[in-house]
Amino acid sequence: MGGSARGGQDLIEDFLAMLSAERGAAANTIAAYRRDLRGAEDIVGNLAAAGADDLKQLAAAWRDLAPATVARKSSALRQFYGYLLDEGTISADPGPHLPRPATRRPLPRILDHAQVSALFEQAENEAKGDLPAPLRTLVMLELLYGSGLRATELVSLPLSAVPRDAPFLTVTGKGGQARMVPVSGRAVEVLSRWIPVRQTGSAYLFPSGRHHLTRVRLFQLLKELATRAGIPAAQISPHVLRHAFATHLLEGGADLRVLQTLLGHADIATTQIYTHVDSARLVALVNERHPLADRPLSD
């Protein structure tokens, strides 16, 4: 593979400057890329001149690292080589020779039905009056667990997304993709109590000053509620409630494709992670519903 007249360190800094200028990468991201790239260069020498045999050294050097760490380091190098290829610094991409660890997607944490009930009981008791703060917490809880919204989707909901006639929210998810999300009758009822007492003059359903409630504040409110409900604060987050929404729907017999649509997943492989938590129900379903379930074994 052809090398470069410029040193490897200079090329790395050029690449990092591009990340900052063209992609708006944060300072912490730039620092992480620099560590990974310079660490790889310490092992194989000039990265721009490294060939397949050189890159094989990385697999041995990274052998004791966690798969996720190896994946991150390889990703940094692939992007670096893609940049060099675009710039004409190298004539062939050595990226395919980089280590590709098999990473396992972490299993989602969930709340069981009893914990969800305790959380709602606490929130409902606190929201019996018309005080805005507890009503807001109850509405957010209803939409996180009842509709499976992401934290960012929830806090940034515009007031115009609230259903008038049809029981649906229009949600803008990742990548700017809009989807329709059903809203339970319970949530509609609490929304009708929340809207008259919320801060007026804001375009957001959950206003905070001139903007909307932050994700950080949402996390804090949920953890405080969990503590009052006797649930360890470490066990709860907006994403845990979204996981519970998905898992409990599967337990109730929801179709995986329907769940994919409700969660706004672009790839059903992302949705399939929820199937592991329902294995006991699936075994029971086969034993109870399969045509051979009631047929006795012959002697």
- Catalytic residue positions? 150, 174, 239, 242, 265, 274
Buried (b) or exposed (e) across 2-18, using 16+ Cβ within 10 A? eebeeebeebbeebbee
Number of neighbouring beta carbons within 10 Å of residue 33: 23
Q: Nearest Cα to 44, choosing from 53, 35, 31, 32?
A: 53
Q: Are strands 211-212 and 207-208 parallel, antiparallel or unpaired?
A: antiparallel
The DSSP letter of residue 212 is E
Are 265 and 271 a contacting pair, CB within 8 Å?
A: yes
Residue 31 CB coordination number (10 Å) = 12
